[in-house]
A and B are shown apart, each in its own frame.
Chain A
Amino acid sequence: MSMKVATRQVDGVTILDLSGRITLGEGSVTLRDAVRDLLAKGSKKILLNLAEISYIDSSGIGELVSAFTSVKNAGGELKLLNLTHKVKDLLQITKLYTVFDVWDDEASAVTSFK
């Protein structure tokens, strides 16, 4: 199953609802293109909802990091919402959990953007 992206706006924050797998190949490319498109359109408050992400590999982790740095370098913020147990474990193992701003509640996450 490849990754799917649905985009919505909440109070000036762009929320990407991701589902499926973020792995080498299609999933990683889809995420990269989605974030690149948002930055090109001037959207700099980005919240990735990972609730429906069933699987992520090292390439997918790398893509999350690249998205984070791309948005940051463009003067924006990228945050994560609703990590599954598995994805949370992976981010903790790789010491990335504290790099990302991670939220479990969408309303709070949206409010947290300056």
Chain B
Amino acid sequence: MPDSTTSRVSLVLDSSLASVDKVEKTAEEFAALAGFDEDTVPNIAMAVREASVNAVMHGNAYDPAKKMTASFETTPESLIVKIADQGPGLNPDAVPDPLAPENILRGSGRGIFLIRAFMDEVHFRDTHPGTELTLIKNRPPGQPGT
């Protein structure tokens, strides 16, 4: 369990939906302790869930030999979550815009859009092989350590 000022946790997990749930739950706990309000905490948890779904489903393709790494860090300024997979790599620029009229009725492809909608910064890094997403949410003022 993280404390409310600065803390860091790193998890190495199987490529499964159970791991997605665990990462989502951990994000929720970190976000709450970092002082985010009740509307923002679930948004952060959703963004992290979407990133971990991408990692296990699209990145690692549920391969039991491949792991997802999730790290959570609370600094005085922000909550930083990194989700890494061991997949073939992801080009975020190649993902179709889900708001475009021709894509609006697609049954998938909204995950990265929601991550960007709910976080302040999103960075993609090619880790050869694999992709690491860094999700940053700035902490609200007036919290311990801010």
A and B: bona fide binding partners: yes
Interface residues, chain A, with chain B CB atoms under 8 Å away: 23-25, 55, 57-59, 61-63, 65-66, 68-69, 86, 90, 93-96, 99
Residues 59-81 of B, flagged 1 when their CB comes within 8 A of A and 0 if not, give 00000000000000000000000
The answer to whether the Cβ of B111 comes within 8 Å of any Cβ in the partner chain is yes
| Chain B residue at minimum C-beta to C-beta distance from A23 | B49
Contact B98 A24 (CB under 8 A): no
How far, in whole Å, are A96 and B98 apart by their CA atoms in the complex?
10
Contact B20 A58 (CB under 8 A): no
27 pairs of residues in contact across A and B, judged by CB atoms under 8 Å: A24-B20, A24-B53, A25-B17, A57-B46, A57-B49, A57-B50, A57-B53, A58-B50, A58-B53, A58-B108, A58-B110, A58-B111, A59-B108, A61-B110, A62-B107, A62-B109, A62-B110, A65-B106, A66-B107, A68-B105, A69-B105, A69-B107, A86-B42, A90-B114, A93-B117, A94-B114, A95-B104
| Chain B residue at minimum C-beta to C-beta distance from A94 | B110
Residues 94-146 of B contacting A (Cβ, < 8 Å): 98-99, 104-111, 113-114, 117
The answer to whether the Cβ of B57 comes within 8 Å of any Cβ in the partner chain is yes
Closest approach, in angstroms, between the C-beta of B110 and any C-beta of chain A?
4
Contact B50 A62 (CB under 8 A): no
Summarize B's interface: helix, strand, loop or mixed: helix
Closest approach, in angstroms, between the C-beta of B79 and any C-beta of chain A?
19
Residues of A within 8 A of B42 (CB): 55, 86
**Interface residue from A23, A57, A95 paired with B99 (Cβ < 8 Å):** A95
Closest approach, in angstroms, between the C-beta of A60 and any C-beta of chain B?
10
Given contacts A24-B57, A66-B107, A69-B105, 7 further A-B contacts (CB under 8 A): A24-B53, A57-B46, A57-B50, A65-B107, A94-B99, A94-B113, A95-B99
Contact B107 A58 (CB under 8 A): no
Contact B20 A96 (CB under 8 A): no
Contact B104 A99 (CB under 8 A): yes
Closest approach, in angstroms, between the C-beta of B133 and any C-beta of chain A?
14
Residues of A within 8 A of B110 (CB): 58, 61-62, 94
Contact A62 B108 (CB under 8 A): yes
Closest approach, in angstroms, between the C-beta of A42 and any C-beta of chain B?
23
Closest approach, in angstroms, between the C-beta of B122 and any C-beta of chain A?
14
How far, in whole Å, are A96 and B49 apart by their CA atoms in the complex?
21
**Interface residue from A24, A55, A96 paired with B104 (Cβ < 8 Å):** A96
